[in-house]
């Protein structure tokens, strides 16, 4: 996203909503990584 698109989105939807969407998209990858780590730990503990 370009800066102009972000400014337009903030103007149209409001800062809190744009921030929430940004954080959700950013943390999605980290959550998936944590899920994989937990599943790996679960399989190691079972052995």
This prediction's pTM: 0.51
pLDDT one-digit tens code per residue, 12-42: 888 888 889 889 988 998 999 999 999 999 9
Q: For the chain, what is the domain count?
A: 1
- Please provide the DSSP assignment of 1-47 as one string: --HHHHHHHHHHH-HHHHHHHHHHHHHHHHHHHHHHHHHHHHHHHH-
Q: Is 19 left (phi over 0), alpha (psi -120 to 50) or beta?
A: alpha
Residue 44: per-residue pLDDT: 94
């Amino acid at each position: 996203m370009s800066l102009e698109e972000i400014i337009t989105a903030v103007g149209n939807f409001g800062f809190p909503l744009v921030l929430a969407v940004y954080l959700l998209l950013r943390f999605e990858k980290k959550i998936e990584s944590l899920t994989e780590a937990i599943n790996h730990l679960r399989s190691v503990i079972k052995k």
